[in-house]
A and B are shown apart, each in its own frame.
Chain A
Amino acid sequence: MIFKKRQTIETAEAGLKETELEEALKNFRLSVHAWSDAEFARPRMVALRHRHWNWRLATGWALGCVLAMGSISAGIFVHHRQQIREQLAHLAALRQEQQRQLAAQQAAAARDDDARLMAAVDKDVSQDVPTAMEPLAQLMNENANQ
């Protein structure tokens, strides 16, 4: 009994839903027809719109080209600048290496000059020792050797 009652209620609800759906679909159809009829009757300037669209398209293309050119130019500029920077760094490194070598050569030359001067002084000093002092000088050398 309860089952039958529930079934009746469900059937009634389903019927109600279907009626509502049918009504919604009918209203939808009428709405679309009303909208379409109103728009269809309205005069339209398609040519103007087309021209406007062309203008917009052309502007879009121009802007796109400018952006693309800008990006490419910026890329080339950055690449070029990097290359110059690398070349400058290379030149600086070469110059530094040359300076370092020159300094080393100068230092070596200075060392040789000192040695030569000392040798000359020694020679001159040894030649200047008087004969009377030679035994004393020998004694000093011996002491130094011991």
Chain B
Amino acid sequence: MAAGAVAKPIDGEAAEVLAAEAFARIVESHRPQIFRFLLASTRDVDLAETLTQECFLKAHRSWANFRGESTAMTWLMRIAINLEKDHWRNRRVQFWRQTRTNSVDVDEASEWLPSGERSAEQRLLAREQVKHVWKAVEALSGRQRSVFLLRYVEEMELSEIAETTGLSEGTVKAHLSRALGKVRAEVGGRR
């Protein structure tokens, strides 16, 4: 009986339902990471939220074209980077449309520390370190910042970063080295 059973072909409606379910799972699992990357890139909570929504909207529109050649995370991160780039480009051209920025300043961003078993002195030191890293990140170029954040916040491998940014691994290494040099100078120069 079981041997004679033939797998029933999936009709169009069922395929759509399955695709929607798969996409919902992708959103659920990757949304925090995309939001985190955009938040670190812009330091603007509202903007990060808006760009995250746009990212998933765009991903949903082209979900049917996603062949799975790269991981879903890499694909989504690439969309997020392009959206962020487009946002700054549009903003430069149409600066008069909205002059006010909602970006949180470095001091405020440095206030965030995980609640752990740390002494007051350790927390103060950690806050100072975070502040200096933020300052260095602020001075990085867009590409250097993306590469740096993908490596040191999202902890992605160099090959993954290369795939996400569309750069070669060598170029990623070069950007990362320059970014790290600036961070080192900022962190080391505070003493």
Contacts and interface: CB of A to CB of B under 8 A. Distances in A.
B49 interface: yes
Nearest to B129: A24
Nearest to A46: B49
B188 A25 contact: no
B32 A24 contact: no
Interface stretch (B61-69, B110-118, B167-175): B110-118
Given A24-B130, A36-B35, A30 B53 contact: no
A35 B109 contact: yes
Nearest to A64: B96
Given A21-B188, A34-B114, A35-B109, 12 more contacts: A17-B184, A21-B184, A27-B126, A33-B36, A33-B114, A34-B112, A36-B35, A36-B39, A39-B48, A40-B35, A49-B46, A57-B97
B182 to A, nearest CB: 11
A37 interface: yes
Contacts of B152: 25, 28-29
Interface in B22-74: 31-32, 35-36, 39-40, 45-46, 48-50, 53
Q: How large is the interface on B (under 10, 10 to 19, 20 to 34, 35 or more residues)?
A: 20 to 34
A21 to B, nearest CB: 5
B126 A20 contact: no
Majority SS at the chain B contact face: helix
Contacts of A33: 36, 114, 153
A25 B46 contact: no
Main secondary structure of the interface of A (DSSP, over half): helix
B187 A31 contact: no
A20 B155 CA distance: 18
Given A24-B187, A39-B39, A39-B45, A31 B32 contact: no
Contacts of B32: 36-37, 40
A28 B151 CA distance: 12
